[in-house]
Amino acid sequence: MNKPIKRLEIIKNAIELEDEEIIHSQLLQLKKEALDEGLNAIVSALEDKHYADAVAAIDVWLQNQRALAPWQDPRIAANKLELKTLEAELQELLDRRSARIQRLDEFNDLYMTRLGPLMTEILRLRKVLAEKIVRRQRREGSQSEPIAEESARQADAASQDYESYRQRHQEAQRHQAAQQRLAESDRQELKKLWRQASKLCHPDLVDDELKAEATTLMVRLNQARQQGDLTTVRTILARLMKGQQPMMASERLNSLERLRERVAEIRQQISALKLELSGLEKEGAWQLVTTLRDQEGYFHQQEKAMSNTIRTLEKQIFDAGFDEVA
């Protein structure tokens, strides 16, 4: 009965202020509450604009309720509202980060599709050249130990770069293939629903007791997005929208101490996230994505530059007297 009590206090003050707009707005909300006989009488008086009768009835009803209802620290309600406001701000920041990461991922997939084969070949040739230099040095035995060690280190690094990039390229190809199986309208729906669902179950947002469940849901959501599984994303979002249980701390916590702790935690998360977003905006990848106007021209220029690099590496391998590229 806490909400009706608060609403009636507001209505009583609004009557004293002669503010019918506030009276009307609170009356609409009051009628949605579970009404008893006393509240029904108050509602009728207010609707008939019998404000003197309404005030008298409000005083009686409030007095009876306060005699029955246990006292509640008003600081709890204040901290709940503060926490709810902070959760909404954090939710908006997380959504903004998700949107930016999604945009970067989409550009990266396109980059991998267009330029991945050329970059893979460049890294393969660098690996071949480095490994053949090491074998020649070992065969001739003419280099000092530090030089030989540096050559071996460079060969290992080139091999790791090649294998790492080749795996990333293959992963991007699988993701791209999964996305291409969907119609454009389904791809857009997938992005939209994924963002909606992630805002409802992000582990940084939910109460501590539900973090494990939220983490599991986010993993499933991310996997479904990567695999182009629109059905799973729809199912998870429908489950979250049903609101079978409140997940936000502001809806679950009633301890003043814990509410204050959570408010402090959320404030720290917000500060850290703002710094992260600020840093993201300064990164070269984000600046490229947001400032690129002629995408086709950019990829054509990169293809030309990478093709020249491949020819240069092939020439270096040939000039060094190595008889094979592969």
SS3 call for 247: coil
One-character DSSP codes across 25-38: HHHHHHTTS---HH
Query: Which residues are bridge partners to 206 per DSSP?
Result: 248
**Predicted confidence (pLDDT) per residue in 43-99, tens digit:** 999 999 999 999 999 988 888 887 766 666 778 888 989 999 999 999 899 989 888
Using CA atoms of 139, 143, 148, 151 in order, give the dihedral in degrees to the nearest 10: -90
**Predicted confidence (pLDDT) per residue in 105-115, tens digit:** 889 888 988 99
pLDDT for 171 equals 84
Residue 326 — very low, low, confident or very high, per pLDDT cuts 50/70/90? Answer: very low
Does residue 1 have a pLDDT over 70?
Answer: no
Cβ burial 17-48 (10 Å sphere, 16+ → b, else e): eeeeeebeebbeebeeeeeeebbebbbebbee
List Cβ neighbours of 300 (8 Å cut-off, separation of 6 or more). none
User: Can you tell me the distance from the alpha carbon of 155 to that of 163, in angstroms, rounded to the nearest whole number?
Assistant: 12
List Cβ neighbours of 53 (8 Å cut-off, separation of 6 or more). 45
Q: Is the pTM of this model over 0.75?
A: no
User: Can you tell me the distance from the alpha carbon of 178 to that of 229, in angstroms, rounded to the nearest whole number?
Assistant: 8
The domain limits of the chain are 2-71, 95-253+293-319
**Predicted confidence (pLDDT) per residue in 202-223, tens digit:** 888 888 888 888 889 889 998 8
Report the candidate in 241, 237, 245, 242 with the shortest Cα–Cα distance to residue 220. 237
User: Can you tell me the distance from the alpha carbon of 326 to that of 307, in angstroms, rounded to the nearest whole number?
Assistant: 17
Q: Are 194 and 227 in contact (CB under 8 A)?
A: no
Does residue 325 have a pLDDT over 70?
Answer: no
Find the radius of gyration of the CA atoms of the chain: 32
* Mean pLDDT of all residues in 123-130: 93
